Each structure stands twice: as structure tokens, then as C-alpha cells.
């Protein structure tokens, strides 16, 4: 089913709207955690003393299954030991399966990589359309369920990109500027298409080609729906393996704003009205969050905003913080053009009735953090991001990254994080 603008607006308008600034289902204090935890006992003791109660444990698929049909049992033992150490320290564990780090043999499977509108093949594998890749992912997740007690895991992160987030690759992936990523045999012809996925409603059409506005709108709706359906498939697979915990869906930026989407569709997706490459990434959060909100297990799904106090927040100034009333008439508002990602995306998630967690982007000079010359350094992110998280009604704030609290390079340490946590809970 394709979601049109009216259906999306109705879905959002009909959902409950949490009160901004009151994290948790019943106003519980926001939990604090760290990303990419080593689960090293000495570090865990310091983090626990600082008030940290949540850790993300990141896995790597290519280390788990380095060869076709093989499992590295020493790596499995390492993973089990890390999770056990974190659990024994009293931490809630958020598990990242690491699908963004696929084994090289998966790329050689039929339809193993996405194909762009100009013939590019980006990094990573095609989790969205390829049946063969889906089979490999299902096999990996089956191994995880057999090797790890998923009941010991509080949340599992699911995504489709090389950064583990919802969507398609960015517009500059594979050195092909402006490519869309649905032009392989599976999405175009159905050859090797994953079960439950649909083929292009305009076979052979490429953005910029002649077409009516209705046809372009249908194509783009199919494109963005394909990305979120791939996330839904991962959730269904985990549920089928008996996992009943929370699901985190990492997202970046604010996606395509409603007005930008309308203008871009009118221009046949020719490159106009496309801040941050959201169109090629297939990010239309009102439509995609409505799909997740319609699931039977929606109450256990959290949108994980990965860029609290990112450069858009810095540039937004006073408009950066979430405010009461942000969800009112969201699909028709024009002032959202001045909002940063955290405010718009948070409002869309709250309007859809989904949970919210968040994290700061990390060192702006590091790869894949979206840093710019005017980004806040990590010390300023630690100062501002937790307040943004609380103001947007998030239940958990995760600091990026654990190493930055211990290696001395970021300008902040565990004591600084402890001060921020104590200030948030009113203990200091």
C-alpha cells in the first residue's frame, strides 16, 4: 500500500502526542548510556559510578561470518563475554548486529549490491531488494539468536545503510553524484526480488525523465516505502526468532520536508529542493514513521536520532530545542524549514506515537559524523545534547563514544559525563 500525503497526515494527527520534556512512559528520568562499549570491567565500574545504565555493544557481521557458511567461534565467544560483562555490571545492553559491515562474500550474491540510476554500486550490500542478501541476513540473525541470549538484550538496532541507519546510500555514494539506488534487476524487473517487496511502478524511468507529477509521486512513495519495509522485515525476523525487547531505528537528519518533497516531485526529482541529499536517501519520515506506527509492536519501537547537537542544531540557534506544540499541524507548517533535524524528526516521531532515544554525532573531524567547520566539538556536544534529548522527550541519551571518555583526545572524561548526568537527575 502506498501512503499519500493525506493518509500520512491523518495517521500522524490520529496518534497520541507525548508531552515534550517528560522522558519515559510515565515521566521517568532519562537514562544515560554510551555507544560502542568495550564492556571492559574497569571502564564499566567508572561508568556505573557516573550514572550510566545503558551500553551499546556493536558487532561486525564480517567477523561473525567471514566465509560462506562459516562462523568464527572465537569471535562469538568474545561477543558473549562482552555482553555478559556488561550485564553483570548492571547495564542494559543495546545490541547493534553490524549489518553495515557485511562479509565480502555477500556482495557477490545475486543482486548483492544496490545499483544506481547512473550505474553506480555503493559500499555495503542490498538489504532492501535482494532476496539472496535477505537470506544471508536471516541466516546470520539465526546464528545470533542461537549464540546469544536475546532475552539479555534490552534493545536491538536495525537499519539499511552503511552507517546502520534507515534509508538508501547518500547522493555521493560510489562517486556518482545524485544517484538514486533502485535500478538493479530486482527492483526493476522482479528478478531476485525479496518476498513482500514491490517492483518499480515506472520500470525504466529515472529521476529527471519525463513523467506526470502523479507518476513521480507514486515512484518516490514506492522508493521510500521500500526502505522502511526492509527495516520492518528485520524486525519481523527478530520477532520470529523470539526476541520481544525494544527495537531502535537509527535515523539521521530531518529527511525530506513536506514542502520540499512536493516541490521536488513537481520537478521530477531533478535535484531541486533536496537539502542534505534526503531524496536520494529515500527519507520521508512522516510516511516512514507512520508505517512503523501501524505495526502491532509499535509500542516497543524507538526512533534513534543520531545527531543531537549536530551542525543543523548549531546553525538553528534558538530554534534548535524541541517545544510544546511542535506536533500541531506538522504536515502544513512552514516554519519547520528553520528547524534542525532533531526538532523536526523528534516532532514527527512523537506525532506518530513512537518512542524516542538519541545520541550526539561525535567528533566532527571523524568519518561519518557529518561534521562541518562550525560543528560543536565533543565537549560542547556533551554540554548541550543531553538537554536537547530531555527537551524532546527522549527516554535515553547515548554518548558517542565510550572511547572518547577514556582516551583523553576529546577534552571530556567520565567525570564530565557524571556531572551532566547528576545535573539532569538533580543529584548535584
pLDDT at position 331: 87
Say yes or no to pLDDT of 13 above 60: no
What mean pLDDT do residues 150-159 have? 96
Task: Indicate if the pLDDT at residue 12 is higher than 60.
Answer: no
Q: What is the mean pLDDT of residues 46-51?
A: 98
Q: Is the pLDDT of residue 259 over 60?
A: yes
d(CA 180, CA 187): 12
Whole-number pLDDT of residue 69: 83
Q: Among the listed ranges 119-133, 366-380, 383-397, which one has the minimum average pLDDT value? A: 366-380
Q: How far is CA 238 from the centre of its chain?
A: 17
CATH number at residue 115: 3.20.20.80
400 grid coordinates = 558517542
Average pLDDT for residues 119-140, to the nearest whole number? 97
Whether residue 93 is contained in a domain is answered as yes
pLDDT in tens, 308-341: 999 999 999 999 999 999 999 998 999 999 999 9
pLDDT at 120 over 60: yes
pLDDT for 170 beyond 70: yes
Q: What is the dihedral of CA 292, 160, 243, 198, to 10 degrees?
A: 60
**Mean local confidence (pLDDT), 98-109:** 97
Among 246, 255, 229, 233, residue whose Cα is nearest residue 348: 255
- Under the banding of pLDDT at 50, 70 and 90, the label for residue 371 is low
Q: What is the 3-state secondary structure (H, E, C) of 75-143?
A: HHHHHHHHHHHHHHCCCEEEEECCCCCCCHHHHCCCCCCCCCCCCCCCCCCCCCCEHHHHHHHHHHHHH
Q: How many residues does the chain have?
A: 428
| Prediction pTM value | 0.93
Mean pLDDT, residues 275-279 taken together? 92
pLDDT at 425: 77
pLDDT for 17 equals: 34
Average pLDDT, the chain: 92
Span of 132-141, 164-173, 265-274, 361-370 with lowest mean pLDDT: 361-370
**159: nearest Cα among 114, 73, 101:** 101
8 A C-beta contact, residue 176 and residue 114 = no
CA contacts within 13 A on the Cβ side of 391: 18
Q: Is 23 within a domain?
A: no
Residue 301 lies in a domain: yes
Assigned domain for 305 exists: yes
Question: Any idea which of 11-20, 115-124, 163-172 has the lowest mean pLDDT?
Answer: 11-20
Range(s) of the domain holding residue 143? 5-18+28-425
Share of the chain above pLDDT 70, in %: 92
Q: What is the pLDDT of residue 369?
A: 66
Mean pLDDT of 91-120: 97
* DSSP helix/strand/coil, 330: helix
Q: Which residue has the higher pLDDT, 373 or 304?
A: 304
Q: Is residue 349 part of a domain?
A: yes
pLDDT at residue 9 above 70? no
CB atoms within 10 A of CB 318: 6
- DSSP helix/strand/coil, 203: coil
Mean pLDDT throughout 377-404? Answer: 97
List, for residues 179-207, the tens digit of each pLDDT value. 999 999 999 999 999 999 999 999 999 99
| Total domains in the fold of the chain | 1
- Tell me if 68 is assigned to some domain: yes
**Rounded Cα–Cα distance for residues 199 and 193 (Å):** 8
**Distance (Å, whole) CA 160 – CA 283:** 12
- Which pLDDT tens digit goes with each residue over 218-252? 999 999 999 999 999 999 999 999 999 999 999 99
pLDDT at 145: 97
pLDDT at position 365: 78
- Inside any domain, residue 363: yes
Q: What integer pLDDT is reported at residue 3 of this predicted model?
A: 34
User: Does residue 160 fall inside a structural domain?
Assistant: yes
Per-residue exposure over 353-387, b if at least 16 CB sit within 10 Å of its own CB, e if not: bbbbbbbbbbbbeeeebbbeeebbebeebbbbbbb
Amino acid at each position: 500500500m502506498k501512503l499519500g500525503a493525506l493518509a500520512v497526515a491523518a495517521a500522524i494527527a490520529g496518534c497520541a502526542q507525548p508531552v515534550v520534556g517528560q522522558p519515559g512512559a510515565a515521566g521517568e528520568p532519562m537514562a544515560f548510556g554510551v555507544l560502542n562499549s568495550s564492556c571492559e570491567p574497569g571502564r564499566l565500574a567508572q561508568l556505573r559510578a557516573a550514572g550510566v545504565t545503558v551500553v551499546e555493544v556493536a558487532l561486525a557481521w564480517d567477523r561473525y561470518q567471514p566465509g560462506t557458511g562459516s562462523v568464527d567461534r572465537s569471535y562469538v565467544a568474545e561477543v558473549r563475554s562482552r555482553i555478559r560483562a556488561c550485564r553483570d555490571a548492571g547495564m542494559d545492553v543495546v545490541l547493534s548486529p553490524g549489518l553495515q559491515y557485511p562479509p565480502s562474500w555477500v556482495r557477490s550474491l545475486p543482486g548483492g549490491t544496490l545499483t544506481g540510476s547512473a550505474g553506480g554500486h555503493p559500499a555495503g550490500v542490498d538489504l532492501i531488494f535482494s532476496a539472496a542478501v535477505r537470506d544471508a541476513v536471516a541466516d546470520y540473525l539465526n546464528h545470533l539468536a542461537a549464540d546469544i541470549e536475546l532475552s539479555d538484550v534490552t534493545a536491538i538496532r536495525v537499519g539499511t545503510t552503511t552507517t546502520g541507519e534507515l534509508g538508501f546510500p547518500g547522493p555521493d555514494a560510489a562517486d556518482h553524484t545524485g544517484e538514486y539506488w533502485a535500478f538493479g534487476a530486482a527492483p526493476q524487473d522482479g528478478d531476485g526480488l525479496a518476498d513482500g517487496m514491490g517492483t518499480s511502478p515506472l520500470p525504466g524511468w529515472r529521476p529527471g525523465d519525463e513523467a506526470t507529477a502523479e507518476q513521480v509521486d507514486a515512484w518516490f512513495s514506492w522508493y521510500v516505502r521500500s526502505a522502511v519495509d526492509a527495516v520492518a522485515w528485520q524486525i519481523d525476523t527478530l520477532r520470529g526468532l523470539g526476541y520481544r525487547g525494544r527495537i531502535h531505528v537509527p535515523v539521521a537528519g530531518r529527511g525530506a520536508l513536506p514542502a520540499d518533497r512536493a516541490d521536488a516531485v513537481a520537478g521530477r526529482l531533478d535535484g531541486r529542493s533536496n537539502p542534505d541529499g534526503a531524496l536520494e536517501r529515500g527519507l520521508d519520515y512522516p510516511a516512514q514513521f507512520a508505517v512503523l506506527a501501524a505495526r502491532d509492536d509499535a509500542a516497543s519501537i524507538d526512533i534513534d536520532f543520531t545527531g543531537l547537537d549536530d551542525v543543523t542544531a548549531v546553525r538553528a540557534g534558538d530554534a534548535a530545542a524541541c517545544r510544546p506544540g511542535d506536533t500541531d499541524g506538522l504536515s502544513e507548517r512552514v516554519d519547520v524549514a528553520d528547524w534542525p533535524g532533531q526538532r523536526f524528526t523528534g516532532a514527527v516521531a512523537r506525532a506518530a506515537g513512537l518512542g524516542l532515544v538519541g545520541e550526539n554525532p561525535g567528533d566532527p573531524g571523524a568519518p561519518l559524523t557529518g561534521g562541518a567547520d562550525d560543528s560543536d566539538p565533543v565537549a560542547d556536544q556533551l554540554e548541550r545534547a543531553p538537554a536537547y534529548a530531555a527537551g524532546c522527550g527522549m527516554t535515553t541519551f547515548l554518548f558517542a563514544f565510550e572511547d572518547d571518555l577514556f582516551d583523553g583526545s576529546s577534552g571530556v572524561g567520565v567525570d564530565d559525563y557524571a556531572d551532566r548526568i547528576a545535573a539532569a537527575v538533580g543529584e548535584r
